[in-house]
Amino acid sequence: MKLFCFGESGNAYKAALSLQLAGVEWEPVFVDFFKGEHKSPEYLAGNTMGEVPLLIDGDLYLSQSGAIQDYIAEKTGKLGGKTSDERREILRWVLWDNHKLSSQAGMVRFLMNFLPEDKRPAEVIAFMQGRLKAAYTTLDNALDGRDWLVGDEITNADISCCGYLYYPEPFGFDRKDYPNIDAWLDRIADQPGWKHPYDLMPGSPADRA
């Protein structure tokens, strides 16, 4: 399998980490997002949504991290839950993450770190950080007394929700404020094959400095 990705993308990290923890043989292919490669005619031919990540497996071209994660689970029998109830609960968390956590964390991180300082909209950032605090609290409460979000082992629910939380750039998230999330992130990082996004995929802020 080939995953078109770049290290600074939390959504790409979800797909890459699922591939990694499922034990799949895969190859990262760097997409130069900041130079607009994801909008090039060549890239759009394989992914009409013009986004990262994109998974290619033989004749299959699949975009959207949640769909890629589901495909990996179906193909490998890993990370997708053990019962229909668990599979549905994983989907619930993936949808929640995409709407309440990752979409907003990704936006705030971009606004705070990848825009020129004089163009960073302080009021928008503050508003989004307020919404994110509610999401962090929801996640922290869900992990109270639990090792994993669904069932008794790591699943795509965990991988989806952790997608942005390992990045070092500031976006208003401090692990020490959320002890259950903090311990959970350590458990994920202890999984065989785990790597930080900048080690798992090509492309980091240092490369653009």
CATH of 84-189, one of 3.90.1150.10, 3.30.390.10, 3.30.70.20, 1.20.1050.10: 1.20.1050.10
What is the per-residue pLDDT for 202? Answer: 97
Q: What is the DSSP string of 16-46?
A: HHHHHHTT---EEEE--GGGTGGGSHHHHHH
pTM, whole model, 2 decimals?
Answer: 0.95
Q: What is the mean pLDDT of each run of 10 residues along the chain (209 residues)?
A: 97 98 97 91 91 96 97 98 98 97 96 94 97 98 98 98 96 96 98 97 86
Task: Give the torsion sign (CA, 180, 182, 188, 190).
Answer: negative
**What is the distance between the alpha carbons of residues 11 and 190, in angstroms, rounded to a whole number?**
21
CATH assignment, 2-79+194-208: 3.40.30.10
Q: Enumerate the CATH 1.20.1050.10 domain ranges in the chain, comma separated.
A: 84-189
What is the per-residue pLDDT for 65? Answer: 97
Backbone dihedral angles phi then psi of residue 27, each to the nearest 5 degrees:
-130, 125
